[in-house]
Structure 1
Amino acid sequence: MKNLGIKTKIQLYFLISVLIVFSSLFFYIEAVYRPKDIANNTFTVSQIVDSKAQEVSMWIKRISAEYRTISTIPAFSSMDVRGIEPQIERFTNSYTNNGEVMETFSYIGKNGFCWINSDAIENLMDNQDYQKAYRDDSEFIISKPKLNDNNREVLLFYYPIKSITNQKEALIVAAIPSVRLNEIVNTMQVYNGKSFIMSRDYDLITTNAQYFYSHTIDEETLHAIDIMAITSSNQFPVTDINGKAATLFVSPIENYPEWIFATVVSNEELMQSSNQLMTGLWILLLFLLAVIFILGKMLVTSVLTPIKNLQNAMKLVENGKLESYVDEGNARDEIHDLSMSFNKMISKMSELIDQIVEERNQKQRAEMEIMQAQIKPHFLYNTLDNLKWLAKQHGAEDVAKTITALSTYFRTFLASGQQVISLKQEFKHTKAYLDMQKIRFKNLDYEIYCPKELETIQVVKILLQPLVENSIHACTQPNTHMGKIIVRAMIENECLMLSVEDNGCGMDEQEVKELLDYLHSSDTSKHFGLHNVYTRLKMMNQENDILIDSIKGEGCKITLLIKEFDYDKNDDR
């Protein structure tokens, strides 16, 4: 992947994304949808088979109810020939006139004597169904389909006439065409399945056996199913005549348990909806792949062209050609923004290079000026030392002390151009300033506290002197008390605190508020020294601050809070 181009990566990512989505869909269909679909279709077919079996059962129930009623007619139960013949003619004509499907109505005694209408006379004595009707305990018997003299397929319906002692004395036999039964069976067209009725003896009732075994399932497959064990709706996996998997749905006919309603459905038909869905997904996948290829190519071209231009411009800049700007184009997209940023960067780089060159020239000039300026402090120190020794020679000790303090003050103030000094040097500078002021003001006293462990802390120089200057001004105003200034350094809550406290005139709350508001502004027209200290504190760290605690007429305490500080590891104290 690392060595592939952006074009290939984009197309590959699109392809992988589509494949992941469709793979998930295919997996869902195979693992979840298809089993549910087959189960639902199987349940539907089973319900339809049950419904058709019930319809056949109701048809048989209606016929059996008619013959149950006929069997109670006295002429039949008394076996009176003179009464039987008119009844046979009457029932035959009645069914014919009503458009029923009965063709022949007969009455047969135990001795085989048969009364039958003149249009269709059959000898039933040797018929196995006739013998079974006397032998079987069932209420009635229905034979296998037979062809009558008119070459029409009929079913013989045998209903017994019983004596007072409940013995079978005769049979009512009706030759019923199988047309209605075939209509019930063949109207069931579900998933292109084949429906039929068979007996418990594997006799096919509503379909031609030769045709069925050669076009649906073979005889061996059908006989492998234990028909006698079927007592309720069930399904059996079978193999059709083409060797494909299929399912045999069966349901016993309630009013004639000797018959089974069955339907053979190919499993492909049961999976038809899920197969169609899978086919649709494959077509959609191929279509999307084609669309992705075309759109991906267009997208990659529209994206990579400006990126390629930007890449070429970067190579030119890399070779030092800073005037290599990129055409930003008319599109307002991320690449347009990137091109604008690149052009702005080139412009800024050119400006910065010009600025660096100018700063380098200025630095060279400044270094020259510093080297020249270093001569002046050296001359100043020598002059102050000469004045100090002249003052001592003439006995002017106060003047000598003042000159010594002034020399110390200037050495710290100038500090060879350094901006950061140790706290020890800062306090030394402050003490020198206080010594000079004490010579002037006789009513001024001071105390300085700087713990040894804090002396190596690095601070911006001349932080305390402006505060001390303000305190001296407040303490030395015409009054009757002795002015006192305390300068202290301490660590509290990991914060360096430098405080200058005096017993001068102090300020009220309003004056303190106005002073703090002034420090937070950019106005430097007054309190220049204090404003300068506050500004340099903030330059060190924005969290640094100044606290002012003052009472009018009692004094004032100004504390510098320095949040971050370092120790001078090279200081040997």
Structure 2
Amino acid sequence: MGVVRKFRLLWAECRRTIILYLLIVLLPAGVLLHYYFQRSEDIFERQVTESILNSIRQVKINLDYRLSKVDEISDALILNTDLYDPLAGDPLAGTHYSQVQEEAKLGNLVRSLQGNDIRKIKLYVNPDKMYAREHVNFFSLDEAKEEPWYGQVMRSNGGVYWIPTRTVSYLGSPGSVRIVSSARIIRDPGNYARIVGILELDVPEANLSAILAQAEYQESNRTMYVVDGDGFIISQTQEDLIGTRLLQPDMFNTVRDQASGIRRMTIGDEAYYMIFDTLDENGWKVVSLLPVRLINRTNADFNVGFSIVLSLSLMLLVILGAFLVFANVNRSMIARLRHITEQLKERGAVVIEEGLPRRRGVVIQLEKSVTHMLSTLQQLLEDNYRTKEKEKEAQMRVLQAQINPHFLYNALDTINWMALTKGAKDISRMLQMLAQYFRLSLSKGKDIVTLEEEMNLAKAYLEIQKQRFHSFEYEMVYPDSLAGRLLPKLIVQPIIENAILHGIQNEDGHQGCIRLEVFEQGGGFVIRVADNGTGMSEDKVRELFASFSSLPTSTSSYGLYNVWERLRLYSGGAGCLNVTSMPGEGTTVSLTFPDGPPPPHRVQ
């Protein structure tokens, strides 16, 4: 009972981990097993088809040997003067007795060559020969003309033509027999254009099918054939298939001109391997049309047994290994979990029962405590986030507010100077521009404005400064497509102020030009302020950026720091401020605003 109880406790505590472990191990094992089966099928199919191709090549060698023996006998007869001299003689020149002797001589010659390889030798001779209708070994040439193979034999022009399988009955022999035949014409040696006969050698088809039967892949499934050049079956162990097409012409034509090979094809709804080689003697093909299922059935029988043994062994090893591992680490793990649970309780992470499983156990208690701790932590993070955002908003407002008093002082100083030195019209114009500027800068209390509003504000500022200094020209360019983009208010003014005071006013002659342009970049946009003033060295630029690590004390860099800090806060650190300068050539300041809208809390 103690073992069973320990097993139950172990299962209760670790069942999820064990199930996960089994899945992690068994799933890859299943995938590997599937991959093994697929690869084994491919390898087995390749091995079987190559083995059958070797068998077909051996069949081809045996058939070529048998047929070559027939061709050798045919050649021997054609070259034998005892054959063609009597056939070439005039049948009307001699006596009847001389023709009887001629028949006996020719009959003895051809019958001596008949046997197992050659069932019958036939001579088609001049119809005027007395023995032309003997119909055992001698036949009339007129009868040959009525045979379907006559045209092919004549077109062979003395070469051997192999006649496909047909069924014949021999005079004096019971029943019928299937034969293939070698036929060729016999010419008169004295007059080569004159045909004096046709020689036909009949070979039993059974001789061919016996060779095929010895090389079959499975005795119960006869898949080997001999076919002619048009795909008709010449020989097969199933006699009812002889004379029929092995394949449709369009399928057979794909291999007609190939000497040897292995080709996979689909006939009907079933996959087959066509494995073939070509006979040297007559161009017929030895073909094995093997269903793929026959190969896979043999492989499947092995795979089923192998997979069962492998799967059971793997499962036993995995289960045994899992329990050994978890049993080994269970005691120390439980102790550590108890310690963690107690620490959580001591630190105030009270267990919340609501919504959690009402089960006992150290792991369950730890799960409940950690859930409560995470909930509390999430609440604290949210509170901290809101506090930080409010702090950033306040900081942005303070930084922005620091701009206005400084500019107001300069503007009022200019108005005072103009009142003392010029007439009331100029003062009136200056006051109008100043009023416009303050109206735009207030922006109904908004901290975030559109690009169009910021550009109008910059233009008003440039007009006021131009009236003050009369020492620069300016140019503003921005596309209408960007007019609605949002950005912090008064972020461009400090850059323009630096360009006037530290760029153009420091130049000899106090003359210059300021160009303000905005363009789209990577879904975001860039504001660029360029002047042709005195410029700065690379060391000065590096020193300027180094001062941003703390609040600058110099009034010359405070405005740029203000811009950088507001851009960083507004874009969450994604924005970029870049300064390029060259002594005597001017300074360019670029503000890069990234793609996407600003955080929702920044728009008021």
TM-score range, shorter chain: 0.3 to 0.5
- The TM-score, its normalising length taken from structure 2, stands at 0.43
Q: Normalised by the size of structure 1, how large is the TM-score? A: 0.45
